[in-house]
Amino acid sequence: MADPDLDFTSGDAGASLTYPMQCSALRKNGHVVLKGRPCKIVEMSTSKTGKHGHAKVHLVGIDIFTGKKNEDICPSTHNMDVPNIKRLDYQLVGVTDGFLSLMKDNGDIREDLRLPDGDLGKEIESKFEAGEEMLISVLSAMGEECAVAIKAMTSK
């Protein structure tokens, strides 16, 4: 009947990291996977159809985690991968050894997110040391997560 070797006790929802979208349907300020990295499209131009009948789309994107610029050219009829991006706000509880302690809406604490490099990391640290309460916006896409913005806590 059933195979006893199969283990169904754990499993994920099966949501894909990316979904396909036709090149011509992509828009500026949208997201796309360029060279295996999730990027925000900052520039795109379409060339005329050539001798072989395919219009080409030239995409320029900025990596949403590293800020590096990536470029790609593909025929407008082909599909490109678009990353599934989730943005969640967490309340900052503490900063320890370069890692953030963040609290979800339901009260769960997670301490596995690194303090971001650069100005944002310095701003988070200085505001936390000054005793300000704030929300940290965390962007997650393709198995990577990064704190991208801070918001002041508003008392409800």
pLDDT digits (tens, 9 = 90+) for 48-95: 877 777 788 899 999 998 889 999 998 888 899 999 989 888 888 888
| 3-state SS record for 72-128 | EEEECCCEEEEECEEEEEEEEEEEECCEEEEECCCCCEEEEEECCCHHHHHHHHHHH
Residues 6+ apart with CB under 8 A from 121: 115
- Cα(136)–Cα(99) distance, integer angstroms: 13
Q: In this structure, are strands 99-103 and 56-63 parallel, antiparallel, or unpaired? A: unpaired
Cα separation of the two ends of the chain: 56
Backbone angles phi, psi at 78, to 5 degrees: -80, 160
Nearest CA to 59 out of 98, 13, 92, 26 is that of 26
* 109 pLDDT more than 80: yes
pLDDT of residue 59: 92
